[in-house]
Structure formats: structure tokens, C-alpha cells
A and B are shown apart, each in its own frame.
Chain A
């Protein structure tokens, strides 16, 4: 992958790739929280820009990875898309309809089409419900398969699709291992035949051997049901493996977005570069040849983020102007967007 010094790519060369309307479009999404202090008299102390002007699209059947370190706003972005959090501003357009403008009833109907898989298979399943009811509950709520017998059949089918024995229906979550519970979480997400699933650190809590099983399951399901995923994770190796395109977030802002192979072989933003260098590769020979440069400093507090480019205090390329100007995300190559004026 040589640097982009070749003949200039004509604008519009990438047109035609995405003639289809995207399944999901996030436009200028902002989610600002107000933090209060004081015990008796609550004072509005500060505003946290958890998500600040984030835009991206997801096509049907595509997996978009959303990566970044803790507190970068990746989970909040997922929650805003699902409307578990009402965004401060911005548009979320799902199957052609702007979710932020829908009535409650219309929104609930759309919600059927989008589901979520959480990180912790221990706390995301109700310990007092049997697996059968956990998976059947969404169908009950949305009035699909109102007949109990049909519903049970559907639950059994979902369990086997997710690689579990249908007899697990009568078990409680505590009788299952972490990997099995995560499969229950996946079966529940599939129960309403969604088009789109937010996977929020869906494999992070699992051991490697079990994690690989669940990764393969997620890939098979995507192909089988033509699903789209927003795959939120901090493990970059997993993201590279699973995702078609990857977006990198830092302190609430999108800093880079590109095809997975392109991003991992040719990262342009200094933060992405540092992030990739920090990930150890399970091969001692490869590791010996890598430069182990370590990025200085820590992620600043989102309560008082740096001015201009939020990354400038840690950035090796930073110049004076980075302290004042917030960099725009610009397209350097077809499909490869970077928020850094210095690359």
C-alpha cells in the first residue's frame, strides 16, 4: 500500500458503488449531557459532549465497526441510534424515515427492525426468567406469534439457529456459561427478524476460544438474514476481522472512516496509527519487527476537552492551528475520510 501519490483519483470514481439507499444514515449526531454538582441544590456544572457531530451510513448487509477507547462516545452513539437516548441534535434516518421526527407509536414500530446485543451476558438477561421467556418476550410485546405454541416453536428454532439445544428453553441464565448466555442474547435480538443490530462489545467478555465461536455465529447470521451490524468494540483485531468498514472515534468525534483493510493497512490519522501500533499481534516475529512507539498522555476529561482538535495534546503532528480549528472530516481517497489537516 503506497501512499496516495499516484494520479489523482477523479471525483465521482466511487459513485456507483453505493447506488442503493443506505439502510441507516446518521447525520450530524450530537449527544450532550449536562452534569450537575451539589447535593441539595443541583447546579448545572458542565456539559459533556459525549457525541459531537458524528455522521456515517450503513448499507444493507454491511458491518460497520465503531472503535475507540473508553469514554470516546461509541456506546452513546449506538444508544442514540436505537433511541434509547434522545439525541441533542442530528438526524437518524432508518429505512428512509427520520427517527428523530417520528411519533412514539411509529418509533416503536421501527424499533422492531433494530435490535441490540449487549456486552455482559450476565447482566443483560433477566435472572428470574427462563431462556424461553427471555427470547419470547419481544415477540409478545410486539404481537408477533401471539399463539403461545407457535411462539415456543419459534423460540426453539431461534435457539438452534444460534447453536443452542432447544431444550435450553426451560433453563435459567445462571445455569449457562458466558458463551451460551451470549447466544441467548443473540437469539433474543433475532426474535423480531430485525434488519439492523447494534452489537455493543458483544464478544468482549468472552474467552478467546468461545469468542471465535460467537464471531463466526455473528458472521453466519449476517449472511443468512442479510443483517447489518453496527459493531462497537475496543478490540481492534476482532473489528478488523468482522467489519467491512471501520469508524474511529476519539473524545466524541469521528477521526477516521475507511474500508477495514484500507484502514488497517494504511491508517492516516495519527490517533488511528497510535491505536493500531498499540495492539499486540500474536506472533513474536512480527512483534520484534514492529516499532513499539508509545503514545504519550491519557485521554483528556470530556468535561473540559482540549480546544480545536481534541487530539492535539497527544498528537505528534500538532501545530499551532490545531489548537484553534476543529478539523473537518475530509475524503482523501474514495471512501477514506480523515479529520486531520496535517495528513
Chain B
């Protein structure tokens, strides 16, 4: 908490894809920061652009059809978008580690775990094969894999989903990153394994001082682990704030709608959920005004014409809604 320097600064990022149906504006003017050592949650539903946003940071957007159409991404003071391919490869998997949703598809099925771990470290950290081997054993132990020496000889298909995700975390940590981007890291896993993996990631990032960006659709996961939260809808960040702000003082109708849509285990049964009507917009069509307007019960005339800018209500808590002040009295009633 003492060190609050911004590690990652994304400003006005636009990522677009050319499709036969037209240009998809997957990420549409997104700005956010991640400070050193903190855990940031990015939440949103499928197609809101949260994964494309993460891929853009590491410049993993396939081009064509995709392209980063504007904005800047500064990591530890350097502009990632201005780097050469060789330079970005050093950052990727080096200073920035990645954990993806599908541990089966993100590990190479025909290479042993050991080779995949060691190769990365020999490349990024310039370790000798022996040093890399020793560190691989140490890393596997750190992520809670028993008999690390034997595991290094195994292939990904020998391991269960939870074990593979542990290997992914070891891989992400292997080159002593400052930041780990985890895109739906536990969505494919069972709930008890999910808890193990998240607890492990949180614990390691605390101990090693690594900043964590967790991208997920699961509001519970964010509530448990994130210090700060960004809520995305239709390619834009519609609300940002501390976990407290987002969950107890939501200031965007979409955030409020999401919170009312999820059933809660700790509340007695019997209440009906209040779903959000309609469905998310088609991003190939140009959207006039606020993208959430057709589903919003707070919408006024202005929302159809102007795109609301994200503005701070209180320090650190911002919302992109013209009617944000109207949500407050409602919340008091709810609590």
C-alpha cells in the first residue's frame, strides 16, 4: 500500500477487428491503471471486450483481422505499443506473465512440463540448463505440485486441470514478472479447485509483490480478491472504483443490474432476482449515445444522443452515466 506508483497505464485504447459484418469495436476507448503490487479485477460479460483488452496489452491481437487503432499502453515507464517485435517478446512472458482460461490449450501438448518451463527461463533470464532445471523444481514446489522432479518429465495430458493451471502459474512466475494478467484463470475449474488456485495466486502475488490483473465474469471472485475493480460493457469501462465502491455504492445502472442479477448464497431464499432486460448490443453496429441505454431503467433523452464520459464521483470512484446521482437514494433503500 505504501508504493502506489502506476505500473501499467492504459490510455484511450482502441482495438478493432475487421469482419464480414463490419468493424467490431471490441475495445472502445479504455483507460485504466494498475499500481505496483495491487490486484485489479476487470469484470464484464462475454463479448464486452475484457479479453481483447488483455490481449492488446501484450500485443497478442492477430493482425489482420485485428488491430490496435489508437491509444497508449505504458508499462514501467515504457510504451509497449511503440516497441519492436523483439522488444515486446522480452516483456511478454518476462516482466508480464500470463495465465489463460484453458490450461490444456495454453500449454504445448507435445513438450514436457520441464522443457516448457526451462525454455522460458533460459530465454528470458539467460539461465544455464542446470540453473533453469533447479529453478523449475523450486517453482513447481512453490505452486504446490508434489514430486516436482518427476512432474518435469511429464506431459500436460498427464496432469489434471487444476494441476495444469498450477503449471501455468509457475510459468507466469518463472521470469520474476512485475505483473501477471490472468484471463478467466479458474472458469474451467471446479469450485474447490478454483478456490485453491485463486488462493495460491493471491498468496504468491502478495509474497512476491507481483501486481495481478484478474479478468473474469464472476462477481464473487472479484469481491474476494480485487483491491480495485473496473466494470466493462460493450467495449467501454462504465465504472471503476475500490471493491467497496463497486459492490456497496454502484454508480452505474449496469453495475447495479449485475449485482441484482446474481443469486447470493448468503441471503435467505424466496426473493426473485431482478434481471437486466434485453441483451448486449451488436458491436458491429455503430452505437449512438450510451451503449447500455436500451436496457437501462434510468435512461433519459440525453443518453440516446451523447456518449457519457467516465467521471469521478468521489476520489477513485468513477462512473460513465449521466444519471449516476439518481442511483444513490435507491441504494440506501436497498441496504
- In the bound complex, do residue B196 and residue A294 qualify as a contact, i.e. CB atoms below 8 Å apart? yes
Judged by DSSP, the binding face of A is helix
Within 8 Å of chain B (Cβ to Cβ): is A40? no
- In the bound complex, do residue B269 and residue A261 qualify as a contact, i.e. CB atoms below 8 Å apart? yes
Q: Which of A79-87, A100-108, A131-139, A281-289 contacts B (4 or more CB under 8 A)?
A: A281-289
Tally of chain A residues near chain B (CB < 8 A) = 44
Residues in A neighbouring B259, C-beta threshold 8 A: 282
Q: Nearest Cβ in chain A — how far from B75, in angstroms?
A: 27
Residues in B neighbouring A89, C-beta threshold 8 A: none
Distance, CA A70 to CA B187, complexed state (A): 13
Partner of A212, one of B199, B268, B275: B275
- In the bound complex, do residue B258 and residue A284 qualify as a contact, i.e. CB atoms below 8 Å apart? no
Distance, CA A237 to CA B190, complexed state (A): 14
Residues in A neighbouring B263, C-beta threshold 8 A: 212, 215, 237-238, 240-242
- The verdict on A212 contacting B269 (CB below 8 Å), with A274-B192, A283-B247 known, is no
Within 8 Å of chain A (Cβ to Cβ): is B297? no
- In the bound complex, do residue B191 and residue A282 qualify as a contact, i.e. CB atoms below 8 Å apart? no
Within 8 Å of chain A (Cβ to Cβ): is B265? yes
- In the bound complex, do residue B262 and residue A282 qualify as a contact, i.e. CB atoms below 8 Å apart? yes
Q: What is the chain A residue whose CB lies nearest that of B198?
A: A280
Q: Nearest Cβ in chain A — how far from B17, in angstroms?
A: 19
Residues in A neighbouring B46, C-beta threshold 8 A: 207
Q: A95-124: contact bitstring with B at CB < 8 Å (1 yes, 0 no)? A: 000000000000000000000000000000
Within 8 Å of chain B (Cβ to Cβ): is A266? no
Within 8 Å of chain B (Cβ to Cβ): is A260? yes
- The verdict on A283 contacting B223 (CB below 8 Å), with A219-B272, A295-B195, A298-B162 known, is yes
Q: Which of B21-29, B150-158, B170-178, B214-222 contacts A (4 or more CB under 8 A)?
A: B214-222
- The verdict on A298 contacting B261 (CB below 8 Å), with A210-B279, A261-B269 known, is no
Residues in B neighbouring A261, C-beta threshold 8 A: 268-269
- In the bound complex, do residue A237 and residue B195 qualify as a contact, i.e. CB atoms below 8 Å apart? no
- In the bound complex, do residue A208 and residue B262 qualify as a contact, i.e. CB atoms below 8 Å apart? yes
- In the bound complex, do residue A234 and residue B191 qualify as a contact, i.e. CB atoms below 8 Å apart? yes
Within 8 Å of chain B (Cβ to Cβ): is A279? yes
Q: What is the chain A residue whose CB lies nearest that of B246?
A: A284
Tally of chain B residues near chain A (CB < 8 A) = 46
- In the bound complex, do residue A212 and residue B191 qualify as a contact, i.e. CB atoms below 8 Å apart? no
Residues in B neighbouring A277, C-beta threshold 8 A: 195
Residues in B neighbouring A161, C-beta threshold 8 A: none
Q: Give the residues from 178 to 211 in chain A that come closer than 8 angstroms, CB to CB, to chain B.
A: 179-180, 207-211
Within 8 Å of chain B (Cβ to Cβ): is A152? no
Q: What is the chain B residue whose CB lies nearest that of A290?
A: B224
- In the bound complex, do residue B192 and residue A278 qualify as a contact, i.e. CB atoms below 8 Å apart? yes
- The verdict on A212 contacting B195 (CB below 8 Å), with A236-B265, A284-B223 known, is no
Distance, CA A172 to CA B275, complexed state (A): 26
Within 8 Å of chain A (Cβ to Cβ): is B264? yes
Within 8 Å of chain B (Cβ to Cβ): is A69? yes
Q: What is the chain A residue whose CB lies nearest that of B194?
A: A278
Distance, CA A234 to CA B193, complexed state (A): 13
Within 8 Å of chain B (Cβ to Cβ): is A216? yes
- In the bound complex, do residue B273 and residue A212 qualify as a contact, i.e. CB atoms below 8 Å apart? yes
Q: Nearest Cβ in chain A — how far from B233, in angstroms?
A: 10
Q: Which of B191, B220, B266, B268 is the most central at the interface, judged by chain A CB atoms within 10 Å of its CB?
A: B191
- In the bound complex, do residue B248 and residue A209 qualify as a contact, i.e. CB atoms below 8 Å apart? no
Residues in B neighbouring A236, C-beta threshold 8 A: 191, 265
- The verdict on A237 contacting B265 (CB below 8 Å), with A282-B220, A284-B243, A284-B247 known, is yes
Partner of B45, one of A208, A283, A284, A299: A208
**What are 10 A-B residue pairs whose CB atoms fall within 8 Å in the complex?**
A207-B280, A209-B257, A215-B273, A241-B264, A278-B191, A280-B198, A282-B247, A286-B266, A287-B220, A294-B196
**Beyond A69-B192, A212-B275, A237-B263: 13 further Cβ-contacts under 8 Å?**
A207-B45, A208-B219, A209-B279, A240-B263, A261-B268, A261-B269, A278-B192, A278-B195, A280-B218, A280-B220, A282-B222, A282-B262, A284-B224
The 3 closest A-B pairs by CB, nearest first: A280-B220, A241-B263, A212-B275
